[in-house]
């Protein structure tokens, strides 16, 4: 998964998210899972179960797909908390400051 994300390879990300060990069993415990996955796939998204199943995550290659999934999932599941998020490409940053002067970034 890390290599797929680093490369930005949508096909490899899709393959990495193809969980044949846990998903078939856990998906049955999540109401409307199949419908949510279909919404993601219709807009070229890759969806996977995150954590204990309290979160479904969809990864897309572009804003158009992300917006379509957000719009369609929001309409289909009005009681769900649906968020559209972007990847933070900068990551964690730190500064060493002494007496108001930045010594190191």
Per-residue model confidence (pLDDT) at position 86 = 85
Token couple for 70:
């957000």
What DSSP assignment string belongs to 1-33?
-HHHHHHT-HHHHHHHT--SSSHHHHGGGSTTH
User: CA 104, CA 94: separation in Å to the nearest integer?
Assistant: 8
Domain that holds residue 48: 2-104
**Orientation angle between helical segments 63-76 and 33-42, nearest 10 degrees:** 150
Model pLDDT for residues 76-99, shown as the tens digit of each residue: 999 999 999 988 878 888 889 988
Q: How confident is the model at residue 71 (pLDDT cuts 50, 70, 90)?
A: very high
Per-residue model confidence (pLDDT) at position 15 = 85
φ and ψ of 5, to 5 deg? -65, -40
What is the value of pTM for the model shown? 0.76
Per-residue model confidence (pLDDT) at position 105 = 81
How many distinct structural domains can be found in the chain? Answer: 1
Q: What is the CATH number of the domain that holds 42?
A: 3.30.70.890
């Amino acid at each position: 998964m890390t290599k797929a994300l680093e490369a930005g390879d949508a096909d490899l990300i899709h393959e990495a998210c193809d969980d044949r060990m846990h998903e078939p069993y856990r998906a049955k415990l999540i109401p409307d899972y199949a419908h949510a996955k279909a919404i993601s796939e219709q807009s070229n998204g890759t969806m996977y179960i995150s954590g204990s199943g309290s979160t479904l995550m969809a990864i897309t290659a572009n804003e158009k797909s992300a917006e379509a999934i957000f719009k369609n999932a929001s309409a289909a599941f009005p009681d769900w908390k649906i968020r559209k998020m972007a990847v933070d490409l900068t990551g964690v940053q730190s500064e060493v400051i002494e007496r108001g002067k930045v010594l190191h970034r």
